[in-house]
Structure 1
Amino acid sequence: MSQLADLLNPALKLIGDTKNVQYLSMTPQLQDFIAYAQQMGYQFQLTVSANTTLSSSVINAVPNIIVQQLP
């Protein structure tokens, strides 16, 4: 994994990233984080703002991602 996640907690087996954008598609960075989570047995948590529209590819990855709405 060449990118740095916003959250990496080995004790909780959690990797997370925050995206504050209007539209979010499945990027190579998100793919890397999801793959890392799967390889390590971690949960991947994606935090987005309430105004973010998610692409279908991100929505389809929901079983591997927790999407939280920011205030």
Structure 2
Amino acid sequence: TYTNETESHVIAKELSLLERHKLEALTAQRKKIYVMSRFDEKSISEISTELSISPRTVENHLFVSRREIREFIKQCI
């Protein structure tokens, strides 16, 4: 079990690095919204209010950025 936990930790760390690498390639607005959602754990309504944009725009940016990051990680695996 210890080996499995160590391996899982290493894989998770590598995936996190890939995510952050692709994050740098996103547009400024998408990057900001993704970071606020993923790392700052803010809701769509909180992001919408803070950035003065519609919740639907936030949803669209999150959808596209998540898809781009997911596709990038799939290509790397």
Q: TM-score, normalised by structure 2?
A: 0.28
Q: TM-score, normalised by structure 1?
A: 0.30
Give the helix-richer structure, 1 or 2: 2
Give the strand-richer structure, 1 or 2: 1
